[in-house]
Structure 1
Amino acid sequence: MGRPESTETRHERFRTATSSWLTRALEAIGAGAYAVDEQGRIVAVNPRALHLLGRSAQEMIGQDAHDLLHRGPQGQRLPAAQCGMREAFHSGDPAHGHTDYFAHADGSLLAISWMITPYDIGDDASGTLVVFHPLESTHLADTHPEEASETLTDLERLALLAETTTQLTSTLDVDEALRRLLGLVLPRLADWAVIDLITERDEVWRTAVVQADGGTLIHHTELQGPMPPVPESSPMPLSRALRGVASTLAGPETYHVAPDSGIAVEQRHLFDATGIRSAAIAPIRSTRDVLGALTLGRAAQPDDFTVADLTLLEDIGRRAGLALDNARLYQRQRAIAETMQNHLLPQMPRVPGLQMTVRYLPAPDASQVGGDWYDAFALSDGATALAIGDVVGHDLEAAAGMAQLRNMLRAYAWSQQKPPSRIVDRLDEAIMPITDVAMATLIFARLTLAEDGRWELSWTNAGHPPPLLITHDGLTQFLTDGHGILLGTGTGAKRPDATITLPPDSTLLLYTDGLIEAPGRTLDEGLSELRQHAAALAHRSLTSFTDQLLRRVRPPGLDDVALLALRTPPGPGGSNP
């Protein structure tokens, strides 16, 4: 809606948002940590790193990490080719170093040990996480390899937990969160992973049984499916985890005893089928409830799990639980909003001689359903009204505002046989005192059958993207006349009307801005792409035209889209002028 923001503004907004949520994620790391983008620029830094380096976030965000921090033992700047950390960054693989130096803000050197690993920095962008510990200079020469190894193990653990937080909290799709969880633990911690989830009906469902074969994850769907109920007092490891009691180690021998429940029978079958010889099982729980259990198993990996491994698994389970709980709450709220929106959107009237089809597509990745809408209805003088609009916002309030606006428009249009501009002027006057709508765009049109058998369209446009007219031969025209300011500004400016005779067998397309606007693409580019594909599809049936156009043009998952397409009948004898 309205004037699209510039690419520079959009990128700055993205950088600010990325830095904010990444910084929150890095706060969970007990060591110094910062994340860099693919160019090596710092995009987020945690408070511990700021304290160790004596710097502010403003001094670090956006700076090249190598130029700002990396130094030699005498404080000299390091050429990139001589910097081990920079070399590891370019390799794209996890790496660590025992003794290197960072520049402190006061000019002194900070001796550190470090680890870096690839890291998701959001919006499908990849980056690198750097985690570092300070080393006391007087003890550097005495550092034993065993001590350094322990420190690096701690770093790897912290990095994994930080990566788990950002990976899982950056999606609100349950299936995607589970896919990411599996990718985090396999094959890093185990060669098998099993996820059992408790459904909203309090049933247990074995959602994933996955094996890591090198870098490939193999899903064993034959081992997935519904599970028996959770026993209330069973001491068996999975039953305890699903009740949220504790994390536990287990092996084949654990379940090769007389089973105390159906779940125990399924667990015996799991160990027999997978060859898992050592397993660690932990609850997946949120702050409100137990959501399931995560089982990591080792069959081919040589080491068995120990009690020390359970703390890490519990931490991963807690992070997974919070992410899954958020995703479930989002999907539940989204389902309510979509149901509300679908019930509010009307059925299209039957108009003899005209074909008409509509589509409403909510944005898959939007936080809420928005205020995009369409309408078509008969008027008291026999004309047909067409409308398409967009209420500011992406939430249930926007959907409710859309319903208020649509119903008021219907009432004014039915009771007042006036040009579209006068109807919309009256609607604009009533928005602020009567509705909860702050601002909205709208096209309102009257469609009438002229004496020569052709259809005439009269319309006014309140700040909305222009309708597109496509002839049967593929000629296209954006209907830019009749354009005025959007609703809710309070200026009281009068609106213009425009009129056009629709050619026989032509297609009129009304749409919302979700069809043409996308980050990195100008509005003109979106309109040009829409025109190009609409012309190519002009000969298709109206249903095929609409579906194919949405498939080709709509930016994936960015905004809601409402669309109304109308086709006039062919000329006499089926010919077109």
Structure 2
Amino acid sequence: MTRIWQISTVTDAARARIATARLATAHGVTAVERTRLVTALTAQLRQCLTKGGPWRISVEATASPDGGGLFVVEVASARNPVPDVRPPWRVTAAFPEAGGGSEAEHVADDPETLAEALFGADEDAALLLEKLDEQERLVAFHREELHQTNQGVLALHAELDAAGRAQRELFAAEQKAHAEAEQARGRLTFLADASAALTASLNHDAIVRLLPVLLVPRYARTVDVWLFNEDGEEGDGEHRSRPHPAAAVLAARRGRPQYAADHPGGLPGVDDQPPSALEPKRPLLCIPLLTRGAPLGVLTLSPPAERWDADDAVMLIELTRRASIALENAKRFEHNRDIAETLQRALLTDLPTTPGLHLAARYLPATHGLNIGGDWYDAFRQPDGSLITVIGDVTGHGLHAAVMMSQLRTALRAYAVDGGSPGELLTHMHTFLHHLQPDLYATAVIARLHPDDPTLTWAAAGHPPPVLRTPDGQVRTLDAKPGAMLGIPIRQEIGDHTVPLPPGSTLALYTDGLVERRAEGIDPGIQRLTAALAAFRPADLDQDLDGAADRLLQPLLHDSEHDDDVCLLLCHIHSDAARIREAVPSGTRA
């Protein structure tokens, strides 16, 4: 459907506009689209009338296969020829269904009709404005909804950001706690290892030298150990003339750690002091070496960095306390060792001299512990002129064993005054030890030799067997049935054994420290002893029994470290003993 109008005047334009609006209504163009179309057409017609000249309006409604259609309005110049070659103005509007347009064939010129058409256009405009108002309210609603959504999104972002910060703070706190736990574990491990190293030594000087090795450079830059003597004064050695910080003196007097620096230390249990005049630019931590008695000295440290952590200071104070205990134990051990060595020297017997009978003894204390044990030897004459030689071993080590050994030695000499065989003497000692020290035991071998009697009488009580070398170089172990250990809670009578002892014979008495090794027992050691004794020439034993004793010990001691005492007593009958005794005046014989 196509309609055309010629426009020359305002009235023509009004009629064409009214007809176009009615056609659009008839074809089902919506009010909004119709208002837009008519408004645009009115504006274009006003421009055309302003320019002047005839104009042509054409309206075409075309249907589409899907049931709707397109409403097209075109305005073009009606002049011939057309001076304006611009394309015609066009506006379109879609409509859902094709409709009729017969009522728009003619529009009357009377004012009433034009007024009615004008009111109809105003109704469309009002409807359009109402639609626009609804759209504005809808837009305002959606704008508010969008605003609320944005606020929610912002709040969510804020919550997520707060949660992220909290998570980061928790992670940082966890990392810090983990680092602190690792540091605490490191301090405890160091404290345990350092304590083990300090208490492993009983050497006073070694402990003092070990402290800087342990602390530098991890926990201290420098370490100074100031030690006192027994009177509380400054000790001997390299520290005697060195000046010490005032904080160290205060630590010694007050018995509390002192921190000397130009800033507060904030260390628990530590008093703050002004910086030291000796080291004004470096902080110093002075910790007293306290014991149950008088203080041993002061440990002065300088920090590896600017200052110490509080936990490090607590650990250093605890380590100093343990070092004090180690130093006190070392001093007590050295004191007891000195007493033991003095007692040991007092108990070593001066061997008697007998023409034709040579004696040689060796005693090597253990290299661990107090360096003294219960091993002992003795040799003395009986009233009948015979010579008693004895070697024994009291169980245990230290002063108690040494004192008990001294008592046994004295008791044996007392029993031997009345005579008696080696077995009888051991029986008396067994009874004596059982009543004197019920919880202490001993082993012993007693041998009796007489210069005029070529017979050896001996008895043993739980002791390694004697070894006898005959003049022909043969060596045998005197392993006849021995008695039980001395002091055990049984009643026993220890018997005597005799063997020939011709001139040139050598008897070896020893303790288990000479022959026993942990990895192999005692028998291989006895075999080594017999082999070494057999290797001597007769002249070696006649001329230098002391040198023979030294050479006998050397191959048996594989190294300088041994856990038990070693005691050896050699008794040698000279090969020409009879001639030697005849050469000695009778008044000077034993």
What TM bracket, shorter-length normalisation?
0.5 to 0.7
| Correspondence for 1:519 | 518
1:316-372 per-position Cα deviation (integer Å, ceiling 9, x unaligned): 111100111122122222332333343234322122233323233433423684322
Equivalent residue in structure 2 for 1:432, among 425, 431, 434: 434
In structure 1, distance between residues paired with 2:277 and 2:391: 56
Aligned counterpart, 2:405? 402
TM-score with structure 2 length normalisation?
Answer: 0.57
| 1:227 equivalent among 241, 253, 259 | 241
Out of 321, 333, 336, the position equivalent to 2:339 is 336
Task: State whether structure 2 residue 312 is matched by structure 1 residue 312.
Answer: no
Q: Aligned-pair distance for 1:482?
A: 5.3
State the distance in 2 between where 1:279 and 1:469 align.
Answer: 69
Contact kept, 8 Å, 2:391 with 2:444, in 1: the verdict is yes
Q: Does 1:348 align with 2:351?
A: yes
> Partners in 2 of 1:470 and 1:161 — Cα distance?
58
Name the SS of the counterpart of 1:356 in structure 2: strand
Report the CA distance between 1:196 and its aligned residue. 2.2
Gaps of 5+ in 1: 1-138, 208-223, 253-265
Q: Does 1:236 align with 2:236?
A: no
Tell me, yes or no, if the aligned pair for 1:425 and 1:494 is still in contact at 8 Å.
yes
Give the secondary-structure state (helix, strand or coil) at the position aligned to 2:250.
helix
Report how many aligned residue pairs link the two structures. Answer: 392
1:194-209 correspondence to structure 2 within 5 Å: 194-205=224-235
Q: Give me the whole-angstrom Cα distance separating, in 1, the residues matched to 2:249 and 2:536.
A: 58
Matches within 5 A, 1:556-567: 556-567=561-572
For 1:193, the equivalent position in structure 2 comes to: 223
CA spacing shift, 1:287–1:572, aligned 2, 3 Å: closer
Q: After TM superposition, give the deviation of residue 151 of structure 1 in Å.
A: 2.0
Q: Which residue of 2 aligns with 1:448?
A: 450
Distance 1:551 1:293 in 2: 45
Deviation at 1:143, TM superposition (A): 5.8
Secondary structure at the residue paired with 1:358? strand
Q: Which has the larger strand fraction? A: 1
Residue 441 of structure 1 aligns with an amino acid whose one-letter code is T
Alignment match, 2:582? none
**Deviation per residue, 1:508-534 (Å, 9 max, x gap):** 322222223343331223333444555
Query: Which region of structure 1 is more displaced relative to structure 2, 160-169 or 242-251?
Result: 242-251
Q: Distance in 1 between matches of 2:533 and 2:176?
A: 67
1:369-384 matched pairs, under 5 angstroms: 369-384=372-387
Tell me by how many angstroms 1:506 deviates.
5.1
Q: Which of 421, 424, 440 is the aligned partner of 1:422?
A: 424
Q: Deviations over 1:136-179 (max 9, x none)?
A: xxx99666544422221111111111222222223333234334
Task: Render the CA deviation track for 1:66-109: whole Å, top value 9, x for unaligned.
Answer: xxxxxxxxxxxxxxxxxxxxxxxxxxxxxxxxxxxxxxxxxxxx
TM-score, normalised via structure 1 length: 0.58
- Structure richer in helix, relative to its length: 2
Deviations along 1:34-87, one digit per CA (max 9) or x if unpaired, are xxxxxxxxxxxxxxxxxxxxxxxxxxxxxxxxxxxxxxxxxxxxxxxxxxxxxx
> Whole-Å Cα distance in 2 between the matches of residues 335 and 419 of structure 1?
37
How far residue 180 of structure 1 moved from its aligned partner, in angstroms, is: 3.9
Shift, 1:388, TM fit: 0.8
1:6-155 equivalent positions in 2, closer than 5 A: 144-155=174-185
Considering only CA atoms, is the larger Rg found in Structure 1 or Structure 2? 2
Contact 2:362 2:567 in 1 (8 A): yes
- Counterpart in 2 of 1:259? none
Once the 2 structures are TM-superposed, how far is the Cα of residue 380 of structure 1 from its aligned partner? 0.7
Q: 1:24: which partner in 2?
A: none
Distance 2:551 2:220 in 1: 45
Distance, in Å, in 2 between the alignment partners of 1:428 and 1:319 is 45
Q: Secondary structure at the match of 2:508?
A: strand
> More displaced, 462-471 or 503-512?
503-512
* Aligned-partner SS, 2:396: coil
Aligned to 1:459: 458
Q: Kindly, what percent of the aligned residue pairs are identical?
A: 35
Counterpart in the other structure of 1:283: 288
| SS of corresponding position for 1:205 | coil
**Structure 1 SS opposite 2:518:** coil
The CA distance in 1 between the partners of 2:294 and 2:500, in whole Å, is 62
Q: How much does 1:267 deviate?
A: 9.7
Q: Provide, for residues 117-140 of structure 1, a one-character-per-residue CA deviation record: whole Å limited to 9, x for no partner.
A: xxxxxxxxxxxxxxxxxxxxxx99
Tell me which of 180, 194, 200 is aligned to 1:170: 200
How far has the Cα of 1:536 moved from its partner? 5.8
Aligned counterpart, 1:413: 416
Cα distance change on mapping 1:461 and 1:290 into 2, 3 Å: same
Contact 2:467 2:507 in 1 (8 A): yes
Gaps of 5+ in 2: 1-168, 263-275, 580-590
Aligned with 1:331: secondary structure?
Answer: helix
Whole-Å separation in 2 of the counterparts to 1:411 and 1:568: 26
- The amino acid of 1:238's aligned partner reads A
Cα deviation, residue 249, structure 1: 4.8
Q: Is the 8 A contact 1:468 1:476 kept in 2?
A: yes
Cα distance in 1 between the residues matched to 2:277 and 2:517: 48
Moved more, 282-291 or 438-447: 282-291
| Cα-to-partner distance string for 1:349-405 (whole Å, 9 max, x where unaligned) | 122233323233433423684322211001111111001112233343433332332
Q: Report the CA distance shift for 1:245/1:431 in structure 2 as closer, same or farther (over 3 A).
A: closer
Q: Deviations over 1:6-33 (max 9, x none)?
A: xxxxxxxxxxxxxxxxxxxxxxxxxxxx
Give secondary structure in 2 for the equivalent of 1:564.
strand
User: Which residue is equivalent to 1:480?
Assistant: 479
Q: Please list the CA deviations of residues 280-331 of structure 1 after superposition, one character each: whole Å capped at 9, or x if unmatched.
A: 4322222333112223357xx6x23436343332221111001111221222
SS at match of 2:318: helix
Give SS of 1:188's match.
coil
Residue 464 of structure 1: how far off its partner (Å): 0.5
Within 2, Cα distance between the matches of 1:533 and 1:192? 55
Distance 1:179 1:506, change over 3 A: farther
- Alpha-carbon separation, structure 2, partners of 1:503 and 1:179: 59
The corresponding residue for 2:556 is 553
C-alpha contact (below 8 Å) 1:282/1:310 kept by paired residues: no
Deviation, 1:443, is 0.6
Query: Does 2:388 correspond to 1:385?
Result: yes
Query: Aligned-pair distance for 1:562?
Result: 3.1
Secondary structure (helix, strand or coil) at the match of 2:219 reads coil
Superposition deviation, residue 502 in structure 1:
4.3
Match of 2:573 among 550, 554, 568: 568
CA separation in 1, counterparts of 2:405 and 2:356? 30
The 1:185/1:536 distance shift into structure 2, 3 A limit, reads: farther
Label 1:438 to 1:190 Cα distance change in 2 as closer, same or farther (>3 A). closer
Deviations for 1:443-467, whole angstroms, at most 9, x for unmatched residues? 111111246xxx5422111110112
CA distance in 1, matches of 2:480, 2:170: 76
Q: Secondary structure at the match of 1:392?
A: strand
